[in-house]
Amino acid sequence: MTAAGFRPLAGVPRRLCHQNLSILRNARLHRVLQLAGHELRFGLPRPGEGVLVWGRSPTAWRGERLAARHRLPLIRVEDAFLRSLHPGRARGEPAIGFLFDPVGVHFDSSRPSRMEQILGDAKLYNSNILDEARQLTDCFIESGLSKYNNSDPTLPVPEPGFVLVIDQSAGDASIRHSGASADTFRTMLAAALRDHPDRRIVIRSHPETALGLRPGHFGPLDTSDRVTLLTDPVPPHRLLAAAAEVYTVSSQMGFEAILHGHRPHVFGQPFYAGWGLSQDEQPIPRRTRRLTREELFAGAMLLAPLWYDPCRDRLCGLEEVIHQLQAEAGAFREDRHGHIAAGMRLWKRPRLQAVFGATRSLRFCDDPAKADRLASATGRGLLLWAGKEPPGFTPHAPCLRVEDGFLRSRGLGAELVPPLSLVTDDRGIYYDPTRPSRLEALIATPLTDCQRRRITALLTRLTEAGLSKYNLGGALPPLPAGHRILVPGQVEDDASIRTGAGPVRTNLALLRAVRAANPGAILVYKPHPDVEAGLRSGAIAPADLEGLADVTAPAADPARLLAEVDEVWTITSLLGFEALLRGLPVTCLGAPFYAGWGLTRDLGPVPCRRQARPDLMQLAHAALIAYPRYWDPVSRRPCPPEVALERLATGAIPHPGRANRLLSKLQGRFASLSHLWR
């Protein structure tokens, strides 16, 4: 996004040099600059180049001297305010965004910086930027993201009404260069105690301090009957939502506090102080402009940073970064304690290991009961393939049931093509209406404006790309004129039929029921791809189709077929959901996850607990964004649905090849043992 010709690297020479080993090893930084059209090299500067240093790090003096000696521009780089899942010192994880500054550095209040110029220049803000800033501020707050995102949302938050005092890492450059010192933290705590004699004080330790990587300014000796030290990784946004007041020296959490509606007490001089949004103990006279929350957000998050999409290897906007970090944080939080995986066939194990074993390697155990005991003994969760759950099984360990997602692959699971999406459910599983599922709860949850905009855009791209679950393609047969009803066949021993069908439980019975109800319609029967391939049960003899189906559409592209019919009748097929997404009327003779909400005509045994009346966007958001987990086989990392959709649309997916069956089982055997070396 641009404003008045602004770009994040304005004033930065195209060629840059440096003399820093950490910059030399920072492949992400090199790639971001390359994508932005800049060259970065190690060595002495040449005429016309600039010199790059890392903020005001202990080694920055080398570059500062070089730039001064050769009279070349000095550029300082720092991580952006959304950085990564873990602190860089914890796992060496690269940043997802950078701030490049040819003027100063954003946390050094002794002189102007590029950030200060942006925030102070009213010409950089227009209605389009501020509209986007308003929307993305809400999305950022809803996302629960912060600079680091390895927090645990299951941890309890102190009872609301406390005063939040934010600690920082001792010796950090952002303290010294914001006009503060270690003594400032003592002054801040004393002020919080004095200003709020009747409130509890909660000191929040810095994540690096809590991990033992760097010391902070407060410890157990600072606690009392009124003061508690919080070292647990409680999500910052939950603390800010529960706090009555916020005190900080120069922490980024002060910026986030402003976004959450606070007017924090600021004892240093960080970039967000001096604009009328904070209570400043050390005013900055040259900052005379008064900003709105949206203007501060626009400058700090939209105009100043350069953001990177690690899945698609390109520069991107803030919204894509929010979606990517949400996907990574969600996967980490679900997998942080590790899993014992049960009921997983060998060919599935490599993909399951990749999706669920990034934090702690999966351990596989065929028997669910034994896996449950092992999970309980080791403090892990139980990961159970939903269709392999024994009748009456009651797990003792926290249990997630797993199944394929609704945007799955380009190819069949029965042909051992691995999925791009999987769903996990701690209550039941989406296809089983005999018990509640997490998907049901998500469908009944109203959407925010941010969520509604996102699913609307995703559905537009999905329908324009003609995507469905398996994306096999295939030509359409000639279709007679008339009122066309699509009747999708199903795998007759599928779990969704066993648990969700009513009296009509076979493809032949379905066709007979549709024909009886619609004697004059054109019935288009589409066999299930697994049945067509001879891999699953449910085939109908040609003689039995006579007088029932006017057209049989084997191997037809489902998306193209939906564009040519007037309605869909089904038992529990996912094609009914895909038809709803395209605005078609759907009649259900069973109880699929999308039935019973007022969006379908229901002739089957729909659970009476489905009393909510969501609109189509709520249903789609739950099924395509909130419920599944997506995994990108190109970058081999968690990804948002937008990336998976793009992979499916372009076909840019590593294909398993003809030797898939044998190779997948062999890989599965090794994946089962990976906990021994990881």
**617-626 residue pLDDT tens:** 999 999 999 9
pLDDT per residue as tens digits for the range 156-167: 999 999 999 999
The domain segmentation of the chain, as residue ranges, is: 1-143+290-317, 147-270, 337-430+632-676, 469-614
Residue 590 per-residue DSSP state: B
pLDDT of residue 614: 98
C-alpha–C-alpha distance, residues 561 and 563, integer Å: 5
| pLDDT at 377 (0 to 100) | 97
pLDDT, average across residues 215-230: 96
**Model pLDDT, residue 647:** 94
Residue 675 confidence class, pLDDT cut points 50, 70, 90: very low
Mean pLDDT of 592-611: 97
Q: What is the pLDDT of residue 123?
A: 84
Nearest one of 331, 330, 405, 314 to 645, comparing CA atoms: 405
State residue 464 phi and psi, 5-degree precision: -65, -35
More confident residue, 372 or 411: 372
> Do residues 506 and 599 lie in contact, with contact meaning Cβ atoms separated by under 8 Å?
no
The one-character DSSP state at 48 is T
Question: What tokens were used for 138?
Answer: 């809400």
Question: So what's the pLDDT on residue 292?
Answer: 96
The predicted-structure confidence for 32-75, as pLDDT tens digits, reads as follows: 999 999 999 999 999 999 999 999 999 999 999 999 999 999 99
- Its sign, for the CA torsion 437, 438, 442, 444, is positive
Structure tokens at 254: 């002060």
pLDDT in the model for residue 416: 81
The reported pLDDT for the residue numbered 657 is: 56
CA distances from 394 to 138, 390, 425 (A): 40, 9, 15
> Is pLDDT above 90 for 560?
yes
What single DSSP character describes residue 652?
-
Reported for 363-369, long-range contacts at CB under 8 A and 24+ positions apart, including other chains, are 363/338, 363/339, 363/675, 364/340, 364/671, 364/672, 365/340, 365/341, 366/342, 367/342, 368/342, 368/343, 368/393, 368/395, 369/393
Q: Dump pLDDT digits (tens) for 91-144.
A: 789 999 999 999 999 999 999 999 999 999 988 888 889 999 999 999 999 999
Q: How confident is the model at residue 319 (pLDDT cuts 50, 70, 90)?
A: very high
The length of the chain is 678
Whether residue 677 is predicted with pLDDT greater than 50 in this model: the reply is no
Q: What is the mean pLDDT of residues 545-564?
A: 93
**pLDDT at residue 663 is higher than 80:** no
Return phi, psi of residue 402, to 5°: -120, 140
Average pLDDT over residues 367-389: 96
b vs e for 524-554, b when ≥16 Cβ sit within 10 Å of the residue's Cβ? Answer: bbbbbbbbbeeebebbbeeeebeebbbbbbe
490's CB contacts (< 8 A; 6+ apart) are 496, 497, 507, 528, 538, 570, 571, 572, 573
DSSP state, residue 147: S
Q: What is the mean pLDDT of residues 523-542?
A: 87
Q: Burial, 4: exposed, middle or buried (Cβ in 10 Å; 0-12, 13-18, 19+)? A: exposed
Number of helices (H), then strands (E), in the chain = 26, 26
**The pLDDT value given to residue 664:** 47
Q: Look at the block and give the residue holding tokens 């180049």.
A: 49
Q: How confident is the model at residue 535 (pLDDT cuts 50, 70, 90)?
A: confident
Is the pLDDT at 4 greater than 90? The verdict is: no
- State the pTM of this model: 0.93
For residue 1, pLDDT over 50 is answered with no
Cross-strand partners of 560: none
| Neighbouring residues of 540: CB distance < 8 A, sequence distance ≥ 6 | 489, 507, 508, 511, 525, 527
Res. 185: pLDDT tops 60: yes
Q: For the chain, how far is it from start to end, CA to CA, in angstroms?
A: 42
Yes or no: say if 614 and 597 are a contact pair by the CB < 8 Å rule: yes
Q: Which residue has the tokens 């290897």?
A: 313
Cβ neighbours around 45 below 10 Å, total: 24
What is the rounded distance in angstroms from the CA atom of residue 577 to the CA atom of residue 568? 10
Question: pLDDT band at 551, cuts 50/70/90?
Answer: very high
pLDDT tens-digit readout, 247-293: 999 999 999 999 999 999 999 999 999 999 999 999 999 999 999 99
Residues 103 and 93: their CA atoms lie apart, in Å, by 27
What is the per-residue pLDDT for 659? 53
pLDDT over threshold 90, residue 88 = no
CATH class of this structure's domain 469-614: alpha beta
φ, ψ of residue 229 in degrees (nearest 5): -105, 120
How is the beta sheet containing 97-101 ordered, strand by strand? 39-42, 15-18, 50-54, 74-79, 97-101, 305-309, 314-316
Backbone phi, then psi, for 329, in 5-degree steps? Answer: -65, -40
Helices (H), 71-181: 88-91, 114-120, 127-143, 173-176
Q: What is the reported pLDDT for 656?
A: 63
* Other CB atoms within 10 A of residue 186 CB: 13
- Burial of 481: CB neighbours in 10 Å, binned 0-12, 13-18, 19+: exposed
- Residue whose C-alpha is closest to residue 322's, from 304, 332, 313, 309: 309
Exposure of 436 by Cβ count < 10 A (0-12 exposed, 13-18 middle, 19+ buried)? middle
Share of the chain above pLDDT 70, in %: 95
The answer, yes or no, to whether residue 196 has pLDDT greater than 90, is yes
Nearest to 417 by CA among 629, 640, 648, 572: 648
